[in-house]
Amino acid sequence: MNPFASTSPQLNAARPVLELLVTLAQLRTQAAALALTPEQVGELHRTLAPLLGGAELPVTEADPLREALIGVLTSVQRQQLADQREVQTARLRALLSRARLASGDGGPQTARFAYSQWIGSAAVSALLDDLGPAAVTRTVQPAAQLTDQALSGL
């Protein structure tokens, strides 16, 4: 079972932004373990700068931004993030095997739960309510700022 799988049209529409938020969380929490070079840190700062400078982020730009962030990493570092994701997914599978999650219509909400465990339920709810550029920016910008701060501490 993939806890991030969903048939919800709203969640699938928000998925690029949700995945960007997961990547930002991974970079923030794994920055030291990734052993980033000063050049990589500088490139990550530059990649985040437009968003931190107030540029709006439409949903269509979430995947390219995520790819740009991942593109700064070496293959070993990308594998470290993939391994961390697999550990989180295994943890979520264990939680889901003991939980009953349903929406108002009775359908399972595993993907919403999975993303909420990683990036917080407020961020997931905000994105499911509004995917306009201003709302996406309001949701992603604080995560980008925290990631930028974590990178500055290296």
Helix axes 121-129, 133-152, angle to 10 degrees: 150
Q: Is the pLDDT of residue 101 over 70?
A: no
Cα 147 from Cα 30, distance rounded (Å): 10
Higher pLDDT, 62 or 111: 62
First to last CA, the chain: 37
Which has the closest alpha carbon to 65: 78, 51, 86, 54? Answer: 51
CB within 8 Å of 1: residues ≥ 6 apart: 93, 96, 110
Question: Alpha-carbon torsion 2, 8, 12, 18, what sign?
Answer: negative
Share of the chain above pLDDT 70, in %: 92
Which has the closest alpha carbon to 138: 151, 126, 146? Answer: 126
Q: pLDDT confidence of 138, banded at 50, 70, 90?
A: very high
Per residue in 11-42, pLDDT (tens digit) is: 999 999 999 999 999 999 999 999 999 999 99
How many helices (H) and strands (E) the chain has is answered by 7, 0
Cα 59 from Cα 78, distance rounded (Å): 23
Per residue in 81-100, pLDDT (tens digit) is: 999 999 998 988 887 776 65
Residue-averaged pLDDT of the chain: 90
